[in-house]
Homo-oligomer: A and B are copies of this chain.
Amino acid sequence: MIQQLTIFGVGLIGGSLALALKEAGYCQQVVGCSRNSKHLQRAVDLGVIDRYTLDPAEAVKGADMILVAVPMGAMQTVFASIADHIEEKAVMTDAGSAKGSVIAAVKAVFGEIPAQFVPGHPIAGREKSSVEAALADLYVDHKVILTPLEHTNLDAIQRVREMWQVAGAEVESLEVEQHDAVLAATSHLPHILAFSFVNSLAESAQSDKVFHYVAGGFKDFSRIASSDPVMWRDICLENKQAILSALDDYQQNLSNLSQLISNEESEALLEAFTRAKTERDKHI
């Protein structure tokens, strides 16, 4: 049970967790904090949070669970604003899509990573990232990855774990670098490819015709290009090395494929496409 959950950044991610915990009767009070009173009031109106404050110090007062779910670029500022006000009983976690940079931000603020900080990443999302898009069942059958460090408090890990499980998620753990590499490949890379794909079409000579005839495959393929640009800009900067590495691998693979087409290497093309279909059908 959580007595007071304080959420920094009450959008899709924080809002959905709040709804799920309320629905499960697992949390007595949810307090929201951000820099935007209009958004926070809307979250109150929607029944997502119970009350809000614009003052970070006041927000963490009485909190036994703190979730920082702001865009990656704003993490350090939020941690700095609460560092001196967190109560001893409080467990802290976050929802950042890259863990290495959040851990670096926490370290920069606290000097060393507090034992009650449990880095986390719920792998769930929608194109819309506002509190209006929050869903009580967003996390059902979705994974949440925790990346605790060696000295992270075991009780803190268990409390964060249980919170996400109550929201319906399957909680697993990875090492920080492993998390960042895996997410770069499975999530960050396809978003970048989709953004690039839409821009490439938009810049083509006959872009009006192109968009008039977009086929079925286009819609699914480009869906993630409708994601929040600020969030994805931040992710690119915060998980830069792992993303550049995944991008390199991809560009190499695509160049090889392009070469096969150029050389009309029929058998090798068929083999490449068959391998891709087999891998996808096996895993999805």
Contacts and interface: CB of A to CB of B under 8 A. Distances in A.
Interface of A: 123-125, 142-143, 145, 174, 178, 181-183, 185-187, 189-204, 206, 209-211, 213-230, 232-233, 236-237, 240, 243-244, 246-247, 249-255, 257-258, 261-262, 264, 266, 269-270, 272-277, 279-284
Contacts of A201: 185-186, 279
A196 B254 contact: yes
| For the complex of A and B, 6 pairs with smallest distance between CB atoms | A229-B273, A195-B276, A198-B276, A200-B253, A211-B283, A190-B221
A83 to B, nearest CB: 25
Given A191-B217, A193-B254, A224-B221, A262 B240 contact: yes
Number of copies of this chain that the complex holds: 2
Contacts of A209: 174, 178, 182
A215 B187 contact: yes
Contact of A244 (B193, B216, B258): B258
A223 B217 CA distance: 8
B253 A196 contact: yes
A189 B195 contact: no
Contact of A221 (B193, B236, B269, B279): B193
Contacts of A200: 185, 246, 249-250, 252-254
A32 to B, nearest CB: 25
